Amino acid sequence: MKYDPYFHIVLHEPEIPNNTGNIGRTCVGMESKLHLIKPYGFEITDKNLKRSGLDYWPHLELEEHNNLAEWQQKLTKPDRVFYLSTKAKRSIFEVEFQRGDYFMFGKETKGLPEDLIHSNIEQAIKIPMLGPIRSYNVANTVSVVLFEAYRQIQAK
């Protein structure tokens, strides 16, 4: 293990290598572990993923999972998983985060599966959107959530 992660970022079936590369770079900077759930819309060796992640990718704490069920079986604290969705009722500012929390993000074109959100609605959260957009870019969303969670634990 490279570091004891502050947080865990989980990407469910990511499609765009540049986003995943940027998220990996952010995870390194925030000492957070990245979990990737297959299938991906790219190869993990994709040059775009490496370009976005720059030379930070070797420092990334990364775990790959063959499917959602495999990832879920490894969870030790399922009550500390937060599902990011525009369909959530609660904002990230209404939750008290803890070190070691998991934040799950869906694929870029569809988000998380509806049944996953509905079966975990109490742990579903969103970032406020004031303007006329459907969603934010997933790499930007990961950054916002990580920095808010870090701000909260540093303020304690």
From the CB of residue 131, how many other CB atoms can be counted at a distance below 10 Å?
Answer: 4
Per-residue model confidence as pLDDT tens digits over 125-134: 999 999 999 9
Identity of the amino acid at 139: A
Tell me the CB-side half-sphere exposure of residue 97, using CA atoms within 13 A. 26
Band of residue 43 on the pLDDT scale cut at 50, 70, 90: confident
Minimal CA–CA distance to 143: which of 84, 74, 98? 84
Name the residue type at position 40. Answer: Y
Task: Tell me the domains of the chain and their CATH numbers.
Answer: 8-155 (3.40.1280.10)
d(CA 51, CA 17): 9
119 Cβ contact list (under 8 Å, min separation 6): none
- pLDDT above 80 (res 45): no
Residue 155: what pLDDT?
A: 80
Residue 46 has pLDDT above 60, yes or no: no
Q: φ and ψ at 74, to 5 degrees? A: -85, -10
pLDDT tens-digit readout, 67-86: 999 999 999 899 999 999 99
Please report the pLDDT score of residue 49 as a whole number.
65
Question: Pairing state of beta strands 124-126 and 81-84?
Answer: parallel
Question: So what's the pLDDT on residue 96?
Answer: 97
Total-model pTM: 0.94
156 HSE (CA, 13 A, CB side)? 9
Cis peptide before 39 (omega within 30 of 0): yes
Percent of the chain past pLDDT 90, that is, above it, reads 81
Task: Give the pLDDT confidence of 101-152 residue by residue, as tens digits.
Answer: 999 999 999 999 999 999 999 999 999 999 999 999 999 999 999 999 999 9
The whole-angstrom separation of Cα 148 and Cα 145 is: 5
